[in-house]
Amino acid sequence: MKVEVNKAALPVPHGFLGRRGGVSQGLCWGLNVGLGSGDDPVAIHENRRLAVEAVAPSAQLVTVYQVHSASVVPVTAPLDDARPHADALVTDRPGLALGILTADCVPILFADEAAGVIGAAHAGWKGALGGVIEATVEAMEKLGAHRENIQAAVGPAIARKSYEVDEAFFLRFAEADEANERFFSGGRPDHYQFDLEGYALARLAAAGLTRIEALGLDTYSNLDRFFSFRRATHLGEPDYGRQFSLIALPD
């Protein structure tokens, strides 16, 4: 099966990938690129090669060890195997494919074509609340980007209908900003449905970005297309795969 690449209107090579087109078998079948899974490392590295080949064939892959933080790494050359702990990358160097892994969290790709600066961020609820989106925009500006020219695209993530949270989770957001209550809708007693994608979009807009696109794809409810940590947990599965979101500057 051919690697499936979901694209937005960004002006540089990019793609939000899922599980279609990979070589992994078992619970992580498909295009699993997660080194933290229990999948066969040989299959994972082949899936990573296939993913980059499908999006930016001549680029060298760069990733980080994601920790749900607001830390951003400026990249000037391929990183070694000791990946820095961070949740976003930015670069102004052609030939590097910035890669973010997700399995329900929000992947965001950024591009200022005129300045020749790109970024990629992993925005789970903790990272988004902690400011990873704003930190990525600021890191791009340090490389010469202008936020009024930055385009952003939000890829596949868990949808509100699939994301139930408890009262403590809701209060954490409400206490940070009363306006955050709009991202929660009622559910069963003492629970809410949280719109993580909508929250990320609002943070992007508040950061001054005006060209923002969301693919609106739910990782949880699309088993044949995307990996989902929460779905795997609800199914009682002991492992789950991760998908890539990639962006590169053309050579």
Average pLDDT score over residue span 206-225: 98
Average pLDDT score over residue span 115-119: 98
The answer to whether residue 82 scores a pLDDT higher than 80 is no
For residue 83, the model assigns a pLDDT of: 87
Average pLDDT score over residue span 63-78: 96
Q: Could you tell me the pLDDT band of residue 106, with boundaries at 50, 70 and 90?
A: very high
Q: Could you tell me the pLDDT band of residue 194, with boundaries at 50, 70 and 90?
A: very high
* Summary mean pLDDT of the chain: 97
Q: Summarize pLDDT for 163-186 with one digit per residue, the tens.
A: 999 999 999 999 999 999 999 999
Q: Helix 196-206 vs helix 132-142: angle between axes, to the nearest 10 degrees?
A: 40
Average pLDDT score over residue span 102-131: 98
Domains observed in the chain = 5-159+195-248 (3.60.140.10)
Average pLDDT score over residue span 153-158: 98
The answer to whether residue 62 scores a pLDDT higher than 90 is yes
Average pLDDT score over residue span 107-116: 98
For residue 81, the model assigns a pLDDT of: 72
More confident residue, 80 or 123: 123
The answer to whether residue 60 scores a pLDDT higher than 80 is yes
